[in-house]
Every structure is written in C-alpha cells, then in structure tokens.
Amino acid sequence: MKQRTLTILKPDTVTHHNCGAVIARLEQEGFEIRAARMVWLSKEQAEVFYAVHKDKPFYRPLVEFMTSGPVWVLALEREDAIEYLRKVMGATDSAKAAPGTIRQQFGTNIERNAIHGSDSPDNARTELAFFFSTSDLA
C-alpha cells in the first residue's frame, strides 16, 4: 500500500552538506518527494514535535540540537513508506547503525543521527500535518 511519511534532514546533515546525498539515496530507494521545505525550528516547535520524549534525559539537548540550525522537512511517498524509511535510516545510534544505512553513513552518534522518520501511521499523519498543509500534500 502506498503511504506517506515525514522525514527531517537534521541540522548535522545540513551543516555537513549531506542533504543532496541523503535525498539522492531516498530517491534511489524509490521514495517520491511530495512536499519539501527548509525550516529553522523554534524552541517551541521542537518541544512540541518531540513532546513524547519530554521526560527523557536527552530531551533538552535534543531540542537544543534540533534548533541549532535549519533542517529540511520532506513528505515522502512509497510502498510501505513508514517501515521502509525506518529500515533505510538504520538504528537510532549512528555509531551502532548497520553498514549502508543513512544513519551509519551520514550521522555521528545517538543524538546527531542525520535523519528523522515517522515511526507509525498515526505519527506520520500527525507529523506531516505539523509541517505541511493539506494543499501542499495534494
């Protein structure tokens, strides 16, 4: 089933000039870009986006990192997009992610891991709506 998911190319990917390479990889993997925008998240936006982690010890540093520079947000479409993107991204910790995954190739550690991907259909819907209006996604 064709699905849509949200990805964020995190500030480390922008800083290291890896956006083109990551997007090329996503396109090679069969994802279609349905919408895209560069955004410098406010503290409030990052706090809301990562609210599920608000009680974790890494929450403050994560918000700090995600607001340290601009990011690219993209709506991606593919067969089984949500699960497939998580697979191509690799494990959360870039230092432990499997060879060939985006996080292994472009990330640094458990925080600076290059890319975000929605983890469920419900979260994909919420996260897409967080950044894109219905008309963007037509």
Catalytic residues: 116
- 92 in contact with ligand IDP (CB under 6 A): yes
Contact range with ligand IDP by CB under 6 A, out of 23-31, 35-43, 111-119, 128-136: 111-119
Neighbours of 97 (CB within 10 A): 21
Sequence-distant (6+) residues with CB within 8 A of 28 are none
Which does residue 5 touch among Mg ion, ligand IDP, none (CB within 5 to 8 A, set by kind)?
A: none
Using CA atoms, how far apart are residues 138 and 35, in angstroms rounded to an integer?
9
Answer yes or no whether residue 14 interacts with ligand IDP by CB under 6 A. Answer: no
Number of chain residues interacting with ligand IDP (CB under 6 A)? 9
Cβ-Cβ contacts under 8 Å for 127 (sequence gap 6 or more): 6, 49, 118
Contact (Cβ atoms closer than 8 angstroms) between residue 110 and residue 2: no
List the 2-9 sheet strands across, edge first.
32-39, 71-79, 2-9, 115-117
Of 92 and 126, CB closest to ligand IDP: 92
Least distance (Å) between residue 28 CB and ligand IDP: 21
Contacting positions for ligand IDP (CB under 6 A) = 53, 58, 62, 92, 110-111, 113, 116, 119
Contacting positions for Mg ion (CB under 5 A) = 119
